Chains A and B, each alone.
Chain A
Amino acid sequence: MSLLPFVQWLAETPGSLALRESVWMYPLVESAHVLTLCVFLGLAVMFDLRLLGITLTSIPMTEIRRRLGPWMAGGFVVMVATGLLLFYAIPVRSYQSIWFRLKVVALILTGLNAFVFHSGIDRRVAEWDREPVPPPAARRAGALSLVLWAVIVVAGRMIAYNWFDCDKQPQPRLVNALAGCVVPAEEARR
Protein backbone atom coordinates (compact mmCIF):
# COMPACT_ATOMS: atom_id res chain seq x y z
CA MET A 1 0.00 0.00 0.00
CA SER A 2 1.37 3.38 -0.97
CA LEU A 3 0.31 6.71 0.44
CA LEU A 4 1.71 8.46 -2.63
CA PRO A 5 -1.70 9.28 -4.18
CA PHE A 6 -2.81 10.72 -0.85
CA VAL A 7 0.22 12.98 -0.40
CA GLN A 8 -0.04 14.03 -4.06
CA TRP A 9 -3.64 15.02 -3.44
CA LEU A 10 -2.60 16.77 -0.21
CA ALA A 11 0.01 18.82 -2.11
CA GLU A 12 -2.71 20.16 -4.41
CA THR A 13 -5.01 21.37 -1.64
CA PRO A 14 -5.22 25.18 -1.34
CA GLY A 15 -3.88 25.20 2.23
CA SER A 16 -0.77 23.24 1.31
CA LEU A 17 -0.14 25.49 -1.67
CA ALA A 18 -0.60 28.66 0.37
CA LEU A 19 1.75 27.47 3.10
CA ARG A 20 4.38 26.26 0.63
CA GLU A 21 4.44 29.57 -1.21
CA SER A 22 4.02 31.86 1.78
CA VAL A 23 6.75 34.38 2.47
CA TRP A 24 6.39 34.50 6.26
CA MET A 25 4.22 31.63 7.41
CA TYR A 26 6.50 28.77 6.44
CA PRO A 27 9.65 30.28 8.03
CA LEU A 28 7.64 31.15 11.15
CA VAL A 29 6.26 27.62 11.51
CA GLU A 30 9.72 26.19 10.91
CA SER A 31 11.25 28.50 13.52
CA ALA A 32 8.60 27.60 16.07
CA HIS A 33 9.28 23.92 15.36
CA VAL A 34 13.02 24.31 15.92
CA LEU A 35 12.91 26.63 18.92
CA THR A 36 10.30 24.52 20.75
CA LEU A 37 13.05 21.90 20.73
CA CYS A 38 14.49 23.76 23.72
CA VAL A 39 11.27 23.46 25.68
CA PHE A 40 10.22 19.93 24.88
CA LEU A 41 13.45 18.10 24.16
CA GLY A 42 15.56 20.21 26.52
CA LEU A 43 13.38 19.23 29.47
CA ALA A 44 13.03 15.66 28.17
CA VAL A 45 16.82 15.40 28.13
CA MET A 46 17.01 16.54 31.76
CA PHE A 47 14.29 14.01 32.60
CA ASP A 48 16.16 11.20 30.82
CA LEU A 49 19.41 12.17 32.51
CA ARG A 50 17.61 11.92 35.84
CA LEU A 51 16.40 8.45 34.82
CA LEU A 52 20.03 7.58 34.16
CA GLY A 53 20.99 8.85 37.61
CA ILE A 54 23.37 11.41 36.11
CA THR A 55 21.82 14.71 37.22
CA LEU A 56 19.16 16.10 39.61
CA THR A 57 19.78 12.93 41.63
CA SER A 58 18.60 14.48 44.91
CA ILE A 59 15.18 15.29 43.46
CA PRO A 60 12.43 12.61 43.50
CA MET A 61 11.39 11.36 40.07
CA THR A 62 7.70 12.09 40.66
CA GLU A 63 8.41 15.72 41.60
CA ILE A 64 10.32 16.29 38.38
CA ARG A 65 7.53 14.71 36.38
CA ARG A 66 4.77 16.63 38.14
CA ARG A 67 6.48 20.00 37.63
CA LEU A 68 8.08 19.55 34.22
CA GLY A 69 5.46 17.24 32.70
CA PRO A 70 3.03 20.02 31.72
CA TRP A 71 5.82 22.01 30.02
CA MET A 72 7.03 18.98 28.15
CA ALA A 73 3.48 18.13 27.09
CA GLY A 74 2.87 21.72 25.94
CA GLY A 75 6.13 21.77 24.00
CA PHE A 76 5.32 18.39 22.48
CA VAL A 77 1.94 19.61 21.25
CA VAL A 78 3.55 22.63 19.55
CA MET A 79 6.23 20.43 17.98
CA VAL A 80 3.67 17.97 16.60
CA ALA A 81 1.34 20.72 15.35
CA THR A 82 4.12 22.67 13.62
CA GLY A 83 5.65 19.41 12.36
CA LEU A 84 2.34 18.42 10.77
CA LEU A 85 2.10 21.86 9.15
CA LEU A 86 5.62 21.52 7.73
CA PHE A 87 4.65 18.15 6.28
CA TYR A 88 1.40 19.61 4.97
CA ALA A 89 3.35 22.33 3.15
CA ILE A 90 5.69 19.88 1.39
CA PRO A 91 3.91 16.50 1.44
CA VAL A 92 5.33 14.59 -1.53
CA ARG A 93 9.01 15.40 -1.02
CA SER A 94 8.73 14.72 2.73
CA TYR A 95 6.91 11.45 2.17
CA GLN A 96 9.63 10.31 -0.24
CA SER A 97 12.51 11.44 1.98
CA ILE A 98 14.49 8.64 3.62
CA TRP A 99 15.33 11.06 6.44
CA PHE A 100 11.68 11.83 7.09
CA ARG A 101 10.93 8.10 7.07
CA LEU A 102 13.78 7.43 9.48
CA LYS A 103 12.42 10.19 11.70
CA VAL A 104 8.94 8.67 11.73
CA VAL A 105 10.32 5.21 12.57
CA ALA A 106 12.40 6.67 15.41
CA LEU A 107 9.35 8.59 16.69
CA ILE A 108 7.31 5.38 16.77
CA LEU A 109 10.12 3.59 18.62
CA THR A 110 10.25 6.49 21.10
CA GLY A 111 6.53 6.05 21.70
CA LEU A 112 7.01 2.31 22.26
CA ASN A 113 9.89 2.99 24.64
CA ALA A 114 7.74 5.40 26.62
CA PHE A 115 4.87 2.88 26.66
CA VAL A 116 7.13 0.09 27.94
CA PHE A 117 8.53 2.42 30.60
CA HIS A 118 5.13 3.62 31.82
CA SER A 119 3.52 0.19 31.86
CA GLY A 120 6.58 -1.42 33.46
CA ILE A 121 9.09 -0.06 35.94
CA ASP A 122 7.27 3.28 36.20
CA ARG A 123 4.29 1.60 37.87
CA ARG A 124 6.53 0.86 40.83
CA VAL A 125 8.05 4.36 40.87
CA ALA A 126 7.12 4.75 44.54
CA GLU A 127 9.78 2.14 45.34
CA TRP A 128 12.61 4.02 43.63
CA ASP A 129 11.33 7.60 43.57
CA ARG A 130 14.13 8.89 45.79
CA GLU A 131 16.92 6.59 44.62
CA PRO A 132 19.74 8.71 43.18
CA VAL A 133 20.27 6.01 40.56
CA PRO A 134 17.01 4.42 39.31
CA PRO A 135 16.75 0.65 38.59
CA PRO A 136 18.23 -0.80 35.36
CA ALA A 137 14.91 -0.88 33.47
CA ALA A 138 14.43 2.85 34.10
CA ARG A 139 18.02 3.62 33.10
CA ARG A 140 17.59 1.63 29.90
CA ALA A 141 14.45 3.61 29.05
CA GLY A 142 16.30 6.89 29.65
CA ALA A 143 19.30 5.89 27.53
CA LEU A 144 17.14 4.58 24.69
CA SER A 145 15.07 7.76 24.73
CA LEU A 146 18.20 9.96 24.46
CA VAL A 147 19.55 7.93 21.53
CA LEU A 148 16.22 7.91 19.69
CA TRP A 149 15.69 11.66 20.15
CA ALA A 150 19.19 12.31 18.84
CA VAL A 151 18.29 10.26 15.75
CA ILE A 152 15.05 12.21 15.38
CA VAL A 153 16.81 15.59 15.57
CA VAL A 154 19.60 14.64 13.16
CA ALA A 155 17.23 12.97 10.68
CA GLY A 156 14.99 16.03 10.89
CA ARG A 157 17.89 18.34 10.06
CA MET A 158 18.89 16.12 7.13
CA ILE A 159 15.46 16.40 5.50
CA ALA A 160 16.63 19.80 4.25
CA TYR A 161 19.38 18.17 2.14
CA ASN A 162 18.44 16.70 -1.21
CA TRP A 163 21.16 14.05 -1.66
CA PHE A 164 18.64 11.21 -1.81
CA ASP A 165 15.68 12.99 -3.38
CA CYS A 166 13.64 11.00 -5.87
CA ASP A 167 14.17 13.58 -8.61
CA LYS A 168 17.94 13.14 -8.30
CA GLN A 169 18.51 9.96 -10.28
CA PRO A 170 20.32 7.66 -10.59
CA GLN A 171 20.31 6.59 -6.95
CA PRO A 172 21.34 3.27 -5.46
CA ARG A 173 18.46 0.80 -5.69
CA LEU A 174 18.28 0.59 -1.90
CA VAL A 175 17.76 4.36 -1.59
CA ASN A 176 14.97 4.31 -4.17
CA ALA A 177 13.30 1.40 -2.39
CA LEU A 178 13.54 3.02 1.05
CA ALA A 179 12.34 6.37 -0.23
CA GLY A 180 9.52 4.82 -2.25
CA CYS A 181 10.69 6.59 -5.40
CA VAL A 182 8.76 5.84 -8.57
CA VAL A 183 11.56 5.68 -11.14
CA PRO A 184 11.05 5.11 -14.88
CA ALA A 185 12.76 1.86 -15.88
CA GLU A 186 15.31 3.38 -18.26
CA GLU A 187 16.40 5.92 -15.65
CA ALA A 188 16.83 3.34 -12.91
CA ARG A 189 19.04 1.15 -15.13
CA ARG A 190 21.70 3.79 -15.55
Chain B
Amino acid sequence: MNFSMLHMLPFIERVKASWLGQMISGSLWLLAVIESVHLLALAVIGGAVLIVDLRLLGLGIREQPVEAIARDAQPWFLWSWAVMIVTGVLLFASEPEKLYYSPPFFWKMTFLTVATIFALTVRRRVVLAGEGRFSPAVLKLVAITSLTLWLGVGASGRWIGFG
Protein backbone atom coordinates (compact mmCIF):
# COMPACT_ATOMS: atom_id res chain seq x y z
CA MET B 1 0.00 0.00 0.00
CA ASN B 2 1.08 3.57 -0.66
CA PHE B 3 -0.41 7.04 -0.83
CA SER B 4 -1.11 6.83 -4.56
CA MET B 5 -4.34 5.02 -3.71
CA LEU B 6 -5.61 8.37 -2.39
CA HIS B 7 -5.14 9.92 -5.85
CA MET B 8 -3.23 12.98 -4.68
CA LEU B 9 -0.96 13.34 -7.68
CA PRO B 10 -1.91 16.98 -8.44
CA PHE B 11 -0.99 17.89 -4.85
CA ILE B 12 2.29 15.98 -5.10
CA GLU B 13 3.14 17.76 -8.35
CA ARG B 14 2.47 21.09 -6.68
CA VAL B 15 4.73 20.26 -3.71
CA LYS B 16 7.46 19.16 -6.10
CA ALA B 17 7.22 22.39 -8.11
CA SER B 18 6.95 24.65 -5.04
CA TRP B 19 9.91 26.89 -4.16
CA LEU B 20 10.43 24.88 -0.96
CA GLY B 21 10.59 21.58 -2.81
CA GLN B 22 12.85 23.06 -5.49
CA MET B 23 15.15 24.68 -2.94
CA ILE B 24 15.65 21.56 -0.80
CA SER B 25 15.94 19.05 -3.61
CA GLY B 26 18.35 21.45 -5.33
CA SER B 27 20.73 21.66 -2.39
CA LEU B 28 22.42 18.55 -1.09
CA TRP B 29 23.87 20.54 1.80
CA LEU B 30 20.48 21.78 2.92
CA LEU B 31 19.12 18.25 2.69
CA ALA B 32 22.01 16.93 4.79
CA VAL B 33 21.44 19.58 7.47
CA ILE B 34 17.71 18.82 7.64
CA GLU B 35 18.43 15.08 7.86
CA SER B 36 20.87 15.73 10.70
CA VAL B 37 18.35 17.76 12.70
CA HIS B 38 15.74 15.04 12.06
CA LEU B 39 18.21 12.50 13.49
CA LEU B 40 19.11 14.62 16.54
CA ALA B 41 15.42 15.02 17.36
CA LEU B 42 15.04 11.25 16.95
CA ALA B 43 17.50 10.71 19.81
CA VAL B 44 15.61 13.14 22.06
CA ILE B 45 12.16 11.73 21.31
CA GLY B 46 13.56 8.22 21.82
CA GLY B 47 14.85 9.18 25.26
CA ALA B 48 11.66 10.99 26.24
CA VAL B 49 9.48 8.02 25.25
CA LEU B 50 11.78 5.34 26.62
CA ILE B 51 12.36 6.86 30.05
CA VAL B 52 8.60 6.75 30.70
CA ASP B 53 7.90 3.39 29.05
CA LEU B 54 10.77 1.71 30.93
CA ARG B 55 9.29 3.05 34.17
CA LEU B 56 5.85 1.70 33.19
CA LEU B 57 7.46 -1.70 32.62
CA GLY B 58 9.00 -1.51 36.09
CA LEU B 59 12.47 -1.50 34.53
CA GLY B 60 13.33 2.19 34.78
CA ILE B 61 13.60 4.61 37.69
CA ARG B 62 11.43 2.47 39.97
CA GLU B 63 11.89 4.61 43.07
CA GLN B 64 9.92 7.47 41.51
CA PRO B 65 6.23 7.70 40.65
CA VAL B 66 5.38 7.32 36.96
CA GLU B 67 3.67 10.69 37.00
CA ALA B 68 6.82 12.59 38.10
CA ILE B 69 8.91 11.13 35.29
CA ALA B 70 6.14 11.59 32.74
CA ARG B 71 5.66 15.27 33.62
CA ASP B 72 9.39 15.97 33.21
CA ALA B 73 9.62 14.02 29.94
CA GLN B 74 6.49 15.56 28.39
CA PRO B 75 7.96 18.87 27.12
CA TRP B 76 10.94 17.05 25.62
CA PHE B 77 8.60 14.66 23.87
CA LEU B 78 6.39 17.44 22.48
CA TRP B 79 9.26 19.64 21.30
CA SER B 80 11.24 16.85 19.68
CA TRP B 81 8.01 15.62 18.08
CA ALA B 82 7.45 19.10 16.62
CA VAL B 83 11.03 19.26 15.32
CA MET B 84 10.63 15.83 13.72
CA ILE B 85 7.40 16.89 12.02
CA VAL B 86 8.86 20.16 10.68
CA THR B 87 12.06 18.52 9.39
CA GLY B 88 9.98 15.58 8.17
CA VAL B 89 7.73 17.89 6.11
CA LEU B 90 10.85 19.50 4.62
CA LEU B 91 12.28 16.07 3.76
CA PHE B 92 8.94 15.17 2.17
CA ALA B 93 9.05 18.35 0.08
CA SER B 94 12.46 17.30 -1.25
CA GLU B 95 11.17 14.10 -2.85
CA PRO B 96 7.35 14.02 -2.73
CA GLU B 97 6.98 11.81 -5.79
CA LYS B 98 9.18 9.01 -4.46
CA LEU B 99 7.40 9.05 -1.10
CA TYR B 100 3.98 9.14 -2.74
CA TYR B 101 4.69 5.71 -4.24
CA SER B 102 6.70 4.35 -1.29
CA PRO B 103 4.99 1.63 0.82
CA PRO B 104 7.36 2.14 3.81
CA PHE B 105 6.46 5.85 3.85
CA PHE B 106 2.78 4.96 3.91
CA TRP B 107 3.37 2.65 6.88
CA LYS B 108 5.50 5.22 8.65
CA MET B 109 2.72 7.83 8.43
CA THR B 110 0.16 5.27 9.59
CA PHE B 111 2.29 4.24 12.58
CA LEU B 112 3.06 7.91 13.32
CA THR B 113 -0.61 8.85 13.38
CA VAL B 114 -1.58 5.96 15.64
CA ALA B 115 1.47 6.40 17.91
CA THR B 116 0.82 10.12 18.34
CA ILE B 117 -2.88 9.66 19.10
CA PHE B 118 -2.05 6.87 21.54
CA ALA B 119 0.59 9.02 23.28
CA LEU B 120 -1.75 11.97 23.71
CA THR B 121 -4.81 10.00 24.79
CA VAL B 122 -4.53 6.57 26.42
CA ARG B 123 -0.89 6.76 27.48
CA ARG B 124 -1.17 10.33 28.73
CA ARG B 125 -4.18 9.45 30.87
CA VAL B 126 -2.53 6.38 32.31
CA VAL B 127 0.83 7.99 33.16
CA LEU B 128 -0.73 11.05 34.78
CA ALA B 129 -3.35 9.07 36.71
CA GLY B 130 -1.33 8.78 39.89
CA GLU B 131 -0.20 5.81 41.94
CA GLY B 132 -2.47 2.77 42.05
CA ARG B 133 -5.15 3.96 39.66
CA PHE B 134 -4.17 1.38 37.06
CA SER B 135 -2.79 -2.10 37.68
CA PRO B 136 0.84 -2.91 36.78
CA ALA B 137 -0.46 -5.13 33.99
CA VAL B 138 -2.25 -2.18 32.37
CA LEU B 139 0.87 -0.02 32.72
CA LYS B 140 2.95 -2.73 31.04
CA LEU B 141 0.46 -3.16 28.23
CA VAL B 142 0.47 0.60 27.60
CA ALA B 143 4.29 0.66 27.55
CA ILE B 144 4.57 -2.27 25.16
CA THR B 145 1.95 -0.75 22.85
CA SER B 146 3.77 2.59 22.88
CA LEU B 147 7.19 1.05 22.23
CA THR B 148 5.81 -1.15 19.43
CA LEU B 149 4.13 1.80 17.70
CA TRP B 150 7.22 4.03 17.88
CA LEU B 151 9.46 1.19 16.75
CA GLY B 152 7.08 0.81 13.81
CA VAL B 153 7.59 4.50 12.96
CA GLY B 154 11.38 4.21 13.21
CA ALA B 155 11.74 0.91 11.38
CA SER B 156 9.47 1.83 8.47
CA GLY B 157 11.14 5.25 8.34
CA ARG B 158 14.51 3.59 8.04
CA TRP B 159 13.13 1.36 5.32
CA ILE B 160 12.14 4.30 3.11
CA GLY B 161 15.81 4.73 2.27
CA PHE B 162 16.10 1.18 0.97
CA GLY B 163 13.08 1.33 -1.34
Contact = CB atoms under 8 A, between A and B. Distances in A.
Nearest to B36: A154
A45 interface: yes
Contacts of A49: 76
B15 interface: no
B63 to A, nearest CB: 5
Contacts of A154: 36, 39-40
A157 B36 contact: yes
A31 B153 CA distance: 13
B48 interface: yes
Among B51, B59, B73, B154, which residue has the most Cβ atoms of chain A within 10 A? Answer: B51
Contacts of B72: 55-58
Contacts of B64: 58-59, 63
Summarize A's interface: helix, strand, loop or mixed.
helix
A43 B51 contact: yes
B98 interface: no
B14 interface: no
B88 interface: no
Interface residues of B, number: 35
Contacts, number: 100
Interface residues of A, number: 33
A41 B49 CA distance: 12
A38 B158 contact: no
A148 interface: no
Given A71-B54, A153-B36, A163-B28, 8 more contacts: A31-B158, A35-B151, A39-B46, A42-B49, A46-B76, A55-B72, A55-B75, A158-B36
3 A-B pairs with least C-beta separation: A38-B46, A42-B47, A42-B46
